[in-house]
């Protein structure tokens, strides 16, 4: 999934991805690839596949829930942050808690958190 496809597909979910938001996803992707070499966070590392199978798929959750109202979300076993980090990037009104038992993945998630706070 290239940039234009990602923007188009998310628009079909009623999510508008502007340049700033796309840049956040790009930074998240780059950090994922960098840390994946050290900690094997995911088998999916090609950019087009990450945007489709991790980012877009995570956003498809909005089909089941109303994320327009302020709420809390707990992502149990988040791994590399899917879907929790992706939801947090798009929906600033959601308080997202990530739970992960793997210390290496937690270290990665701490680095991701630093990017967005």
Domain tally, the chain: 1
Residue 90: per-residue pLDDT: 93
Give the relative orientation of helices 103-116 and 19-39 as an angle to the nearest 10 degrees: 160
Q: How far apart are CA 87 and CA 99, in angstroms?
A: 15
- 10-residue stretch averages of pLDDT, the chain, 117 residues long: 96 95 96 94 96 96 78 92 95 92 96 84
Residue 99's pLDDT is 97
Domain of residue 80 covers 3-116
- Rounded to the nearest angstrom, the gap between the alpha carbon of residue 54 and the centroid of all alpha carbons in its chain is 7
Query: What's this model's pTM, rounded to 2 decimal places?
Result: 0.92
Q: What is the CATH number of the domain that holds 36?
A: 3.40.50.150
* Helices assigned H by DSSP within the chain: 3-11, 19-39, 47-49, 57-59, 84-90, 103-116
pLDDT score of 69: 76
């Amino acid at each position: 999934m290239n940039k234009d496809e990602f923007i188009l597909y998310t628009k079909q979910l009623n999510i508008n991805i502007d340049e700033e938001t796309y840049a956040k996803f790009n930074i998240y992707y780059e950090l994922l690839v960098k840390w994946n070499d050290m900690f094997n966070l995911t088998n999916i590392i090609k950019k087009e596949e990450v945007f489709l199978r991790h980012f877009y798929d995570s956003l498809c959750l909005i089909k089941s829930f109303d994320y327009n109202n302020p709420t809390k979300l707990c992502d149990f076993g988040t791994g590399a942050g899917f879907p929790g980090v992706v939801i947090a990037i798009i929906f600033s009104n959601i308080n997202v808690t990530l739970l992960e038992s793997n210390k290496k993945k937690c270290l990665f998630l701490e680095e991701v958190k630093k990017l967005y706070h």
